[in-house]
Structure 1
Amino acid sequence: MISRRLFVAALAVTTWRPKVLHAASPAPASDGELVIATYNLRYAGDLSPNAWPDRRPRVKALLDRYQPDLLGTQEGLYQQLREIAADQPAYDWIGLGRDGGSRGEFMAIFYRPDRLEPLEYDHFWLSDTPEVVASSTWGNGVRRMVTWARFRDRATGREFYFWNTHLDHEVQLAREKAAELIRRRIAALPPDIPLFLVGDFNAVATANRAYDILAKESGLTDTWFAARERRNEDVNSFTGFGPLRHEGQRIDWILARGAVEVRATEAVTFRPGDQWPSDHLPIVAWVRLSP
């Protein structure tokens, strides 16, 4: 039975119908493989053509195409998440607003219950008082948090953790302190259970102290570099709804700990109707938990 610690939003499950992947994306997941993703959705606050009602069908088309088993989202507001869930009835989701309850942005975790069974989940805030809802103590004007869950893979019986976060976009000290807090909390978990840490870290991979703390000093591996195949490896993961830039500045990461094989990873440049679904690119990884 799932341990319900704070809040969960769950929606109906229907039959999942596979759809064709984009020609430039890796082959569909093989038996025992998991497709995991991180995606900053961009909150609902822009004008057309980037207003949420315009972007909603683009997000749907992207998720239909890539069909992740597990997706960590950032910036989504409660109504946005409800609409995504309505568009993707094969998913359930876990989340709590960073301002408490349904208020503020969520670090939501969408998962396919036909494949994954949630065993426990919780949330904490990136501050000196992480158990205090909506706390912020490091000079950042925006509250930051982690939502995490432990899952059992119904296909293999393996258990693993999935952590989802969004570090501050302005204050480097807050990013570093958040990374240290996450590092300490991950270190306290059973080391034999694999773990994924995903999110928008607002820090360029390999070029920021927060990355060093998490990807070099925490026993975590960046799946981007561990992958046997990388797609669109020179693109920036933040577009700002503008032209795609080829500087290799990836601020959205999927890190892993434990016996995890990474077949492929991709910075998704799919643009339905030649319009971006969000101001970030989703990062997708095709992984397998080793026996």
Structure 2
Amino acid sequence: MYSLLSDLAPAQKLLIPHLMPNFFSNIICISTLCLLIGGCSTSDSPVSVTAMTFNIRWDNPNDGVDGWDLRKDWVSDVIIESGAEIIGLQEALLHQIAHLDSSSAGFDWIGVGRDDGKTQGELSPILFDTTKWTVLEWDTRWLSSTPDSVGVAGWDAALPRIATIATLQHVKTQFELRVINTHFDHRGETARLESAKLIRDWALEGNKPVLVLGDFNFKQHEPPYAALTDTVADRFLRDAGTGDTTSTFKGFDALKPVSGARIDYVLSAGHQGPDQNGQYATYSVIESIRSDRFVSDHLPVLSTLRY
């Protein structure tokens, strides 16, 4: 469910057809309304958002019993059964997204390939429930010192890395949420730290409520985590799983899991205060197992937040 539009900028070429006819007119109408009323407001009632981050593992032909063709329907089942309405995927190739899209009624997605800004290479797409959310605007930026340069590997990164950034609007309340989905480099320490600084700046620009999803490839005690969540700053991102030590990277073998760590996160800003139990969000790591195998080498992370 996508089309390639040659007259758009590279990072905006992969768009969903039904979003296009009213896309620019919607933005113009919203901008005009904001000018007339002196700023956009949202419902006073909290909006509950259930979100998932999920590294689905790229379709590696050498994965044997854990190959994509043997897992694709299972991955789809996990997504649907989770109840998530906004989902950030990592390591997703175009044909993998196409399968999940076709098997997940009511969902659409946005994103581009990291290699060419179109279809080549891994995507970091944002999937969303169209009965609850519409897309106002979106783009893709590369995690480098030149974010608009397509296909660039930043700093000491082994590979090009991207962030998909969108403004979603809640259908019922017109509440607007800035959503970012990303996948940090697995080798470059400098790249991870500098990428964290970029993501924090991008997340907090525009002063909107924010949801950040991703496979960050860093642990909670490492500098990039602090760069994103440091409470000394005027504004910061809150980790939905603060205090949870459950590993999100375990490999495929459920009987002999990798001694991994929590490297996949759901982060947010601009949400409601704690509930009566002092909690800002619900949080869980989904350990879906069949025949002693995990659904992916990373475990999906699910969180419900109130904005």
Report if TM-score (shorter chain) is over 0.5: yes
Q: Which amino acid aligns with 2:288?
A: F
Deviation at 1:247, TM superposition (A): 7.1
Paired residue for 2:80? 64
Paired residue for 1:44? 59
Counterpart CA distance in 1 for 2:146 and 2:125 is 21
Q: Provide closer, same or farther for how the CA distance between residues 156 and 92 of structure 1 changes in structure 2, counting only shifts above 3 A.
A: same
The answer to whether the aligner puts 1:284 opposite 2:299 as a matched pair is no
Q: Provide closer, same or farther for how the CA distance between residues 140 and 63 of structure 1 changes in structure 2, counting only shifts above 3 A.
A: same
Paired residue for 1:208? 222
Out of 121, 125, 129, the residue aligned to residue 112 of structure 1 is 129
The answer to whether the aligner puts 1:129 opposite 2:155 as a matched pair is no
Counterpart CA distance in 2 for 1:174 and 1:58 is 33
Q: Which has the larger radius of gyration?
A: 2
Deviation at 1:94, TM superposition (A): 0.2
**Contact (CA 8 Å) 2:59, 2:67: kept in 1 or not?**
yes
**Contact (CA 8 Å) 1:147, 1:164: kept in 2 or not?**
yes
Q: Which amino acid aligns with 1:10?
A: I
**Contact (CA 8 Å) 2:94, 2:119: kept in 1 or not?**
yes
Counterpart CA distance in 2 for 1:200 and 1:91 is 22
Counterpart CA distance in 2 for 1:178 and 1:137 is 9
Paired residue for 2:211? 196
Deviation at 1:177, TM superposition (A): 1.1
**Secondary structure, in 3 states, of the residue corresponding to 1:278?**
coil
**Contact (CA 8 Å) 1:11, 1:92: kept in 2 or not?**
no
Deviation at 1:235, TM superposition (A): 2.4
**Contact (CA 8 Å) 1:58, 1:276: kept in 2 or not?**
no
Out of 181, 185, 197, the residue aligned to residue 164 of structure 1 is 181
Q: Deviations over 1:38-57 (max 9, x none)?
A: 00110000433110001102
Out of 79, 86, 92, the residue aligned to residue 95 of structure 2 is 79
1:1-291 matched pairs, under 5 angstroms? 6-10=12-16, 32-45=47-60, 46-100=62-116, 101-187=118-204, 189-191=205-207, 193-205=208-220, 207-216=221-230, 217=233, 219-225=236-242, 233-243=244-254, 249-260=261-272, 262-289=280-307
Q: Which amino acid aligns with 2:14?
A: V
Deviation at 1:64, TM superposition (A): 2.2
**Contact (CA 8 Å) 2:250, 2:260: kept in 1 or not?**
no
Deviation at 1:11, TM superposition (A): 7.7
Counterpart CA distance in 2 for 1:237 and 1:149 is 25
**Secondary structure, in 3 states, of the residue corresponding to 1:161?**
strand
Counterpart CA distance in 2 for 1:57 and 1:219 is 37
Moved over 4 A (4+): 244-248
**Secondary structure, in 3 states, of the residue corresponding to 1:49?**
helix
**How many residues get paired?**
260
Counterpart CA distance in 2 for 1:122 and 1:142 is 20
Q: Deviations over 1:174-201 (max 9, x none)?
A: 10111122223334x222x100111000
Q: Which amino acid aligns with 2:262?
A: R
Counterpart CA distance in 1 for 2:73 and 2:271 is 36
**Contact (CA 8 Å) 1:38, 1:199: kept in 2 or not?**
yes
Give unpaired runs (5+ residues) of structure 2: 1-7, 19-45, 274-279
**Contact (CA 8 Å) 1:195, 1:257: kept in 2 or not?**
yes
**Structure richer in helix, relative to its length:** 2
**Secondary structure, in 3 states, of the residue corresponding to 1:224?**
coil
Deviation at 1:9, TM superposition (A): 4.3
Q: Provide closer, same or farther for how the CA distance between residues 242 and 260 of structure 1 changes in structure 2, counting only shifts above 3 A.
A: farther
Q: Which amino acid aligns with 1:287?
A: L
Q: Deviations over 1:153-185 (max 9, x none)?
A: 113221110001111101101101111222233
Give unpaired runs (5+ residues) of structure 1: 13-30
Counterpart CA distance in 1 for 2:272 and 2:87 is 17
* TM-score, scaled relative to structure 1: 0.83
Counterpart CA distance in 1 for 2:134 and 2:127 is 12
**Secondary structure, in 3 states, of the residue corresponding to 1:148?**
strand
RMSD: 2.3
